[in-house]
Amino acid sequence: MSDLVKEVRIGIIGMGRQGKIHSRNIVSRIEGARLVCVSDIYIDSAKEFVASLDRSIDVYEDYRDIIKREDVDAVIIASPTTTHEQVITDAAIANKDIFCEKPIAPDLATTDRLIELVEKTGVKFMVGFNRRFDPTFKRVKDLVVNGNVGEPQILLITSRDPAPPHLEYLKASGGIFFDTTIHDFDMARYLVDDEVTEVYATGNVLVDPRVKEFGDLDTTMVTLKFKNGAIASINNSRQAVYGYDQRVEVFGSKGSAQAFNETPNTVMLFDEDGVHSDKPLYFNEQRYPESFVNEVSAFVECIRNNTAPPVAGIDGKIPVLMAMAAKKSFDENRPITIDSIQAEVKGGNTR
């Protein structure tokens, strides 16, 4: 469904943490959208949550009950990555517009097939890279697009979590490049407004020695080269004891746009020991609440105005290629081109 509509009727598939965030936002803060129904295999828990929203919203165990409803215009897919293929396929065939949390699929071949499918069916397909919709990063992007920094030459991204997730989560995460740096790969493309040609990655295990056991890293530094000649450096850590550290800088021929961390208040205490203020906001949900509202608003608007989604299928795919290049670069300790990864993929290696 892509005709101009007054109100976009949405079903959410998957009522985990992210599904709940989207539910609350649609109910209370997003113009032009109505949450019609949700689904989750843990239907009791979903029912309890939906009751707290105090609206008439249907709850299903099977997502297909959402997709078969004619009065649902669009779906938000917030179920586990392994389910995406089936859900996207069913939704696209049922002509529902799709907002899908990243990653699109666990492997590139599936990703490509799904991108092709949604293109063929003509449904809107948007990938959930929320940080693009954060007001601070959006402002940096605007300064780049409006020419205030001139030609981008250097990009710096600092992206550090306040604390590592559970080890079990880490083991299943696919590795730091696919789980964490992937957001920064997207941010890099977004801010420089150009494509990356080569990746060099290094890293170490400095936070928790146990991640070595399953071959992952917790502290990384990635260098990117862009087509336009710009160079980027991304550093990640699983543990910044002072909170979620999310900064970017785009330096160019006319200046430098720098985004600093958000804080819970603006208070400074001057005392005998020095000057003190509170730590940056703790994590994802504290730091990026507006981005979750803004990304779904953008999805709703692209449906209502029949315009292209601001984050397309290809934008979901390329960061995966970059993560693959980073992984290989670290493994072989040499820079890896994106082209070589693409060639490998075509040759059958889909990670």
Cα distances (Å, whole numbers) of residue 260 to 246, 248, 263, 280: 7, 7, 9, 10
- Total binding residues toward a copy of itself, as defined by CB under 8 A: 76
Q: Judged by CB, which is closer to a copy of itself: 1, or 221? A: 221
Q: Judged by CB, which is closer to a copy of itself: 38, or 127? A: 38
Q: Judged by CB, which is closer to a copy of itself: 111, or 158? A: 158
| CA 247/CA 191 separation, integer angstroms | 12
- Is residue 5 near a copy of itself by the rule CB under 8 A? no
- Is residue 331 near a copy of itself by the rule CB under 8 A? no
- Is residue 197 near a copy of itself by the rule CB under 8 A? no
- Contact set for a copy of itself, span 89-128 (CB under 8 A): none
Q: Which of 99, 200, 288, 330 binds a copy of itself (CB under 8 A)?
A: 200
Q: Judged by CB, which is closer to a copy of itself: 68, or 276? A: 276
- Is residue 160 near a copy of itself by the rule CB under 8 A? yes
Residue written as token pair 């666990």: 106
Q: Which of 169, 242, 306, 339 binds a copy of itself (CB under 8 A)?
A: 242
| CA 199/CA 74 separation, integer angstroms | 36
CA angle 251, 253, 187 (to 5 degrees): 35
Q: Which of 256, 286, 342, 350 binds a copy of itself (CB under 8 A)?
A: 256
Token pair, residue 329, equals 């670069």
SS3 307: coil
- Is residue 261 near a copy of itself by the rule CB under 8 A? yes
- Is residue 253 near a copy of itself by the rule CB under 8 A? yes
The torsion of the CA quartet 171, 173, 176, 180, rounded to 10 degrees, works out to -140
Q: Judged by CB, which is closer to a copy of itself: 37, or 105? A: 37
Shortest distance, position 60 Cβ to a copy of itself, whole Å: 21
- 11: enclosing H helix or E strand: strand 8-13
| CA 75/CA 215 separation, integer angstroms | 36
The residues near 130 (Cβ < 8 Å, ≥ 6 apart) are 288, 291, 292, 295
- Is residue 4 near a copy of itself by the rule CB under 8 A? no
- Is residue 245 near a copy of itself by the rule CB under 8 A? yes
Stretch that binds a copy of itself, among 189-197, 202-210, 299-307, 340-348 (CB under 8 A): 202-210
- Is residue 346 near a copy of itself by the rule CB under 8 A? no
Quickly list DSSP for 105-119: -SSHHHHHHHHHHHH
**Is residue 132 within 8 Å of 297, Cβ to Cβ?**
no
- For 42, list phi and psi in degrees, rounded to 5: -90, 75
Shortest distance, position 232 Cβ to a copy of itself, whole Å: 8
Residue in 229, 234, 197 with CA at minimum distance from that of residue 337: 197
- Is residue 148 near a copy of itself by the rule CB under 8 A? yes
- Is residue 335 near a copy of itself by the rule CB under 8 A? yes
